[in-house]
Structure 1
Amino acid sequence: MASGAPPAWKRSGGGAACRVLQDMDPKLSPEEKRVLERKLKKERKKEEKKRLQEVGVAEAQSPPARRSGAELALDYLCGWAQKHKNWRFQKTRQTWLLLHMYDSDKVPNEYFSTLLAYLEGLKGRARELTVQKAEALMQELDETGTGDPDPFLLGKTQRIRQVLQLLS
C-alpha cells in the first residue's frame, strides 16, 4: 500500500474492526492481516471484561475454597477403604491421620474403625513410631491419673488401647 492512505484496519473505529475482518480487503498483506487480527482479539477481550464487570461476575468467580487437611485426610482414608483404582499412597495424608487419630473431633468415631484397618498395613518406621507414641501417651495418661473421668480423655485412652492392641 504505497498510496499513502492508511490501511483499512487503521481507518476503522473500535467496533468497526469486526466488519473489516469479515470483508477483509484482499489487497492486505499477510502482516497487515495479522496486525488486524491481533487488534480484534484485544478488542474482544476488552468487551468481554467490560461485560463481566457490568454483570458483576468478576467478583463472583473467586477460586474455590481450599479444603482442610482433615477433609483431605478423611477422603484419602475412605478412598483406601473403598479400594479405589485411583487411590495412591500420600505420606502427608498418612502423617495427618497418625498425628490426629486419637482426637475424636478430628477423626470422628465412624472413621476410626477404618483407620484401624488402615493401620494394620503400617510397616517399618511408621509402625514403630506409632507404637512408641501410643505407649508414651498411655504412660502419660496413667501418670496423670483420672480423679474425675473426663469423657474426652476416656475416649482418647480407649483409642490408644485399640491402636496398641492392633500394632503390638
Structure 2
Amino acid sequence: MGKVKGKHRLDKYYRLAKEHGYRSRASWKLVQLDSKFSFLRSSHAVLDLCAAPGGWMQVAVQRVPVGSLVLGLDLVPIAPIRGAVSLEQDITKPECRARVKKVMEEHGVRAFDLVLHDGSPNVGGAWAQEAMSQNALVIDSVKLATQFLAPKGTFVTK
C-alpha cells in the first residue's frame, strides 16, 4: 500500500465523508449537529451561506422533507446537487439579497426555517487578518439570517 498523502487522509471524518459520497469532511459536523438537535427534518426552506463545495447542502437535501428548498450561496460555483439550488453570489453585497428574494418567490418561500453558515475567508496564512475576516463573514451571515430567517427559525454557524 502506498504512502497516504496529506494530513486529512488520516482523519476519520475525511474517510467517512468519502465513503458516504460527501464533498467535504465538514458534512459530518452538520450530521452530528442535526443528530443532536434535529433541525433539518422540520425545515422546508434552508439557506446555506458560503456553501462551496456543497457538503452541507448534500446533508440538508438528504434530511429535509421532500420538496423543500435548499439554496446554497458562494463566491465560487458549486457543482450541481440534485434537489438543491446554488447561486454564485457574494453574501456581503446587496445584489445577493435580491437574488435570494427572487429564488424565494420562485419557490413560494416566505422565509427560511434554517440558515447555515460554515464559511471561511481565503486570506492566506496571516492569523490576525484571517481571524478578523472570519468574524466579518460571520457578522454578514448574521445580517442575512436576520433578514431571511423565519420567526423561531434556526441559525447555525461555526
| TM-score range relative to shorter protein | under 0.3
Higher RCO by CA contacts (8 Å cutoff, separation 6 or greater) = 2
- The TM-score normalised by the length of structure 1 is 0.24
Looking at secondary structure, tell me which structure has more strand per residue.
2
User: Computing the radius of gyration over CA atoms, which structure comes out larger, 1 or 2?
Assistant: 1
Looking at secondary structure, tell me which structure has more helix per residue.
1
